[in-house]
Amino acid sequence: MLRLIKRCPAYMAGYKAYCQELYDNGVLYFRPTDPRCIDDGWFERTKPLYDKKEQGLIRGQSPSIHYWAVDGERFIGEFQLRTQFTDKVMTEIGSIGYAVRVTEWGKGYGTQILQSGLEIAKAYGMERVLLTIHENNVASIRLCEKMGGKWQDTIQAYNDVEGHHSLRRYWIMLS
Ligand SMILES: CC(C)(COP(=O)(O)OP(=O)(O)OC[C@H]1O[C@@H](n2cnc3c(N)ncnc32)[C@H](O)[C@@H]1OP(=O)(O)O)[C@@H](O)C(=O)NCCC(=O)NCCS
């Protein structure tokens, strides 16, 4: 059974393998941690930063809560929730980020992660969430629309990894 849990050292090896799979397959729609940075000390070293992100203590950034998706002992993917609609959230990263490790694609895990993640967003008091999806990302578009996402518009965006690209913006209503 899939569970969303807070980051935890017990799943470090799985997290690294998940990041490696996304990098090895050239997935640019969602960039996790560079696996080369993940060594034995990585979890403890980065914990203060993730704690600050969660508490909204990084100036100019929405509070950002990071979950890992696991099924028993297997690491499956991740889910990120940003609770405020900052400019960056509205025009680049959206309220929600999710990914499944490449070797687990197409097995329904993405659907389960998003379903559970929307419950978490509700529990944070959010009435709606914004998803920003690269126009070529057919899997994510399908997943979002399946979960009730309503297309608002398509905007032009730029980042170093993807260059200039078009982003479809979708709202999912939670209440
Ligand atoms: C998007 C992603 C999370 C989907 O995960 P997944 O576990 O494969 O998703 P599911 O198996 O639950 O499939 C969800 C729906 O998408 C469809 N789908 C999955 N891959 C697809 C593809 N390549 N093309 C078209 N539809 C696809 C499935 O058929 C399913 O729809 P259905 O229930 O009507 O059959 C996964 O592809 C991924 O991690 N991609 C890279 C990261 C990413 O793009 N994150 C989102 C950034 S906005």
Can you give the residue ranges of every domain in the chain?
Answer: 2-128
Residue linked to tokens 């690294």: 16
Answer yes or no: are the C-beta atoms of 72 and 48 closer than 8 Å.
no
Positions in the chain short of pLDDT 50: none
Q: What is the CA radius of gyration of the chain?
A: 15
Centroid of ligand 1 to alpha carbon of 79 (angstroms): 14
Q: Whose CA is nearest to atom 19 of ligand 1?
A: 139
At 32-78, the pLDDT tens digits run 999 999 999 999 999 999 999 999 999 999 999 999 999 999 999 99
Say what the pLDDT of residue 15 is: 98
Region 2-128: CATH code:
3.40.630.30
Centroid of ligand 1 to alpha carbon of 105 (angstroms): 7
Residues forming beta bridges with residue 81, ordered by sequence position: 65, 96
pTM of the model: 0.97
Centroid of ligand 1 to alpha carbon of 119 (angstroms): 19
Which residues line the pocket of ligand 1, CB cutoff 6 A?
27, 29-30, 98-100, 105-111, 133, 137-140, 142-143, 146
End-to-end CA distance of the chain: 26
Backbone angles phi, psi at 44, to 5 degrees: -65, -35
Q: Whose CA is nearest to atom 9 of ligand 1?
A: 110
Length in residues, the chain: 175
Sheet holding 2-6, edge to edge: 2-6, 64-71, 74-82, 96-100
Centroid of ligand 1 to alpha carbon of 60 (angstroms): 31
Say what the pLDDT of residue 175 is: 83
Mutate to test the pocket of ligand 1, among 21, 142, 147 (most ligand atoms within 8 A of CB): 142
Say what the pLDDT of residue 33 is: 96
